[in-house]
């Protein structure tokens, strides 16, 4: 009777250990996948940052118009044009 109980206990322990090993393997694979995604995202963001730093900066006047005026036109002021 005691031997049978030990055998059943060992079987249950073995099943639980197997479940734990499967869960551990699954967590490791998910961790690796997430890490790879984050590294790719970091690379993309660093490339975008470099591109933005290389791009010329546009100046904006208080009225929201970019300066200088396109085609060399002067901005007219006053009500008489």
Could you state, in order of their start, the residue ranges of all structural domains in the chain? 2-53
Query: Which are the contacts of 61, defined by CB distance < 8 A and separation ≥ 6?
Result: 67
CB 67 within 8 A of CB 59: yes
Query: Which are the contacts of 56, defined by CB distance < 8 A and separation ≥ 6?
Result: none
Total-model pTM: 0.54
Three-class DSSP category at 76 = coil
pLDDT at 15: 98
pLDDT at 60: 67
pLDDT at 57: 76
pLDDT at 81: 54
pLDDT at 55: 84
CB 32 within 8 A of CB 40: no
How confident is the chain (81 residues) per 10-residue block, as mean pLDDT? 96 98 98 98 97 82 60 65 54
Q: Residue for token digits 């250990």?
A: 17
64 alpha carbon, distance to own chain's centre: 33
């Amino acid at each position: 009777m005691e031997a049978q109980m030990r055998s059943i206990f060992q079987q249950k322990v073995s099943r639980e250990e197997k479940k734990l090993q499967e869960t551990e393997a699954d967590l490791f694979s998910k961790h690796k996948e997430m890490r790879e995604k984050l590294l790719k995202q970091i690379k993309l963001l660093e490339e975008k940052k470099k591109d933005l730093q290389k791009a010329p900066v546009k100046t904006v006047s208080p009225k929201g118009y970019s300066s200088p005026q396109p085609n060399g036109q002067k901005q007219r002021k006053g009500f008489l044009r």
